[in-house]
Amino acid sequence: MLTIPASNAASLLANKQIMLVGTTYDYETINTIDYALANNLIHKGDKIGHIYPQNEGGSMHCRAANTPRRRAGSRSSRRRSSPPTPT
């Protein structure tokens, strides 16, 4: 049976039973920073802030941001968001 998950975590690519629709979180992050650099929305040396959730997707975004950030000579500031509280 083929399954389409609600998450786009790269770890799902190893399972042949799962089909990802769209790009994985890490590629989304890399493409977003590259786009912002190419269109002068951020500049070489700018500080990039990253707020991420405490889950696999959040940690993937955070790790993926290092590649284009280093290439642009930018610094980063990371903050993990608080877990949701029950209401």
pLDDT for position 79: 67
Tokens of 87: 């209401």
Per-residue pLDDT of the chain (87 residues; tens, 9 = 90+): 667 766 677 777 777 787 777 777 778 888 888 888 889 988 888 887 777 777 777 777 777 777 777 776 776 666 666 666 666
What's the pLDDT at 39?
A: 93
CB-side exposure of 53: number of CA atoms within 13 Å?
Answer: 6
pLDDT at 75: 66
pLDDT of 31 reads 85
Q: How many CB atoms lie under 10 A from the CB of residue 10?
A: 16
Which residue's structure tokens are 């998450």?
7
Q: Are 32 and 17 in contact (CB under 8 A)?
A: no
d(CA 3, CA 36): 33
Q: Give the pLDDT of residue 13.
A: 75
